[in-house]
Amino acid sequence: MLKALLFDVDGTLADTERDGHRVAFNAAFRDIGLDWDWDVDLYGKLLAVTGGKERMRYYVDHFRPDYVKPADFDDLVVNLHKTKTKHYTELLAEGGIPLRPGVRRLIDEARQAGLTLGIATTTTPDNVTALLRHSLAPDSPDWFAVIAAGDIVQAKKPAPDIYLWAMDRLGLKAEECVAFEDSCNGIRSSRGAGLRTVVTVNDYTRDDEFDDAIAVLSDLGEPGTPYRRLDREEAGVVDLARLAGWLQA
Ligand code: XBP
Ligand code: MG
C-alpha cells in the first residue's frame, strides 16, 4: 500500500540547475575573484557530479589543468559554497524559480489523502527550505515529514544513502513509497534504495538512462497540458489514481 511520496528537489520540483545553481556558482566565483565561468553546456557536463562542493572540485580536476590549487584549497571550496548558497537562496527569495507543472497539484492531492511527504536531495538544506517557502507556500517545509538533504549522508547520489536515511526516519519500507526523480544519478540512488520511481525529465537529463523507471515523463502534467510519456505512447496527468494504476501493473 502506498504511504509516502519522496521527492528529489533539483530538476524535479523545479528547474533549478541552469538558471539557479549555475548562476549562483558564477556569482560566487566573481565575488571571490576567480575567472571561472560555467556556461550552460559546461554546466551540463558538470552535473555528472552531484553536490556543489564536489562539483567545484571535479571542475578544477577535469577542466582546469592550468589552475594551481592554493594550500588552503579545501577552505576556499567551503567558502565558495557558502557564498554560492547565499546567492542561490537570494535568487529564490526574489521568486526566481517556479515549480514544475503538476508538482503543486500532486502535493496538494497527496496531503488531502493523508499521504506522507518526504524530500531526498543532494542539495543544501537551506536551498530546499528557500525553494519550498518561496515557490510552494511559506509554511510548506512543515508539510514534509522528512527533509533529507546535503551532507547529512557522506555518500551523495547516485549512492542510495539519502533515500535510505529518509525512509529510516519515516519508519517506512521501500514498498510503501514512490520516489520522483529527474536524472540518472537520481534514479540510481532511488532504485538502489529499492524505490519504485517516476521520472520527469528536463533539458539536462532528457537523454539520460532511465531503464528501471515506472514511467518516464515530460512532467507531471496538468489538466489541459498533459504530460507526454517518453517510454511509450501515453499522455495524461499524474495523480494518485494514475500512480496506483502504475504500481499495480
Ligand atoms: C542536485 C545537485 C546539487 C545542486 C547544488 O542533485 O546536484 O548539487 O546542483 O546543490 P539531485 P549544492 O537533484 O540529484 O539531488 O550546491 O547545495 O550542493
Ligand atoms: Mg535532481
**What CATH number is attached to the domain comprising 172?**
3.40.50.1000
Indicate whether 71 and 144 sit together in one domain: no
Same domain membership, residue 227 and residue 114: yes
Q: Do residues 107 and 218 both lie within one domain?
A: yes
Exposure string over 107-144, b if 16+ CB within 10 A, otherwise e: bebbeeeebbbbbbbbbbbebbbbbbbbbbeeebbeeb
pLDDT value of position 25: 98
236 lies in the same domain as 184: yes
Q: What is the pLDDT of residue 96?
A: 77
pTM (2 d.p.) = 0.96
How many angstroms is it from 11 CA to the middle of ligand 2?
Answer: 5
Of the pLDDT bands very low, low, confident and very high (cuts 50, 70, 90), residue 197 is: very high
Give the whole-angstrom CA distance, residue 41 versus residue 145: 36
Neighbours of 52 (CB within 10 A): 24
Average model confidence (pLDDT) for the chain?
97
Banded pLDDT at 148 (limits 50, 70, 90): very high
Q: Nearest 10 degrees: CA dihedral of 75, 81, 83, 89?
A: -160
Q: Is 222 helix (H, G, I), strand (E, B) or coil?
A: strand
Q: Are residues 72 and 11 in the same domain?
A: no
First to last CA, the chain: 14
> What local confidence, expressed as pLDDT, does residue 204 receive?
96
Please count the structural domains in the chain: 2
pLDDT score at 95: 83
Asked if residue 12 and residue 22 are part of one domain, the reply reads no
Q: What is the pLDDT of residue 211?
A: 86
Q: Which three cell numbers stand for residue 143?
A: 508539510
The predicted model gives 227-247 an average pLDDT of: 96
Which residues have any ligand 1 atom within 6 Å of their CB?
8-11, 17, 21, 50-52, 84, 121-124, 127, 157, 183, 185-186
Domain span including residue 47: 17-93
Mean pLDDT, residues 179-189: 98
Q: Say if residue 103 is in the same domain as residue 198.
A: yes
Distance 173 CA to ligand 1 centre (A): 25
Atom number of ligand 1 nearest to Cα 49: 7
Contact 26, 17 (CB under 8 A): no
Is residue 151 packed enough to be buried (19+ CB in 10 Å), middle (13-18) or exposed (0-12)?
A: exposed
> Does the structure show a pLDDT above 80 at 179?
yes
pLDDT at 131: 98
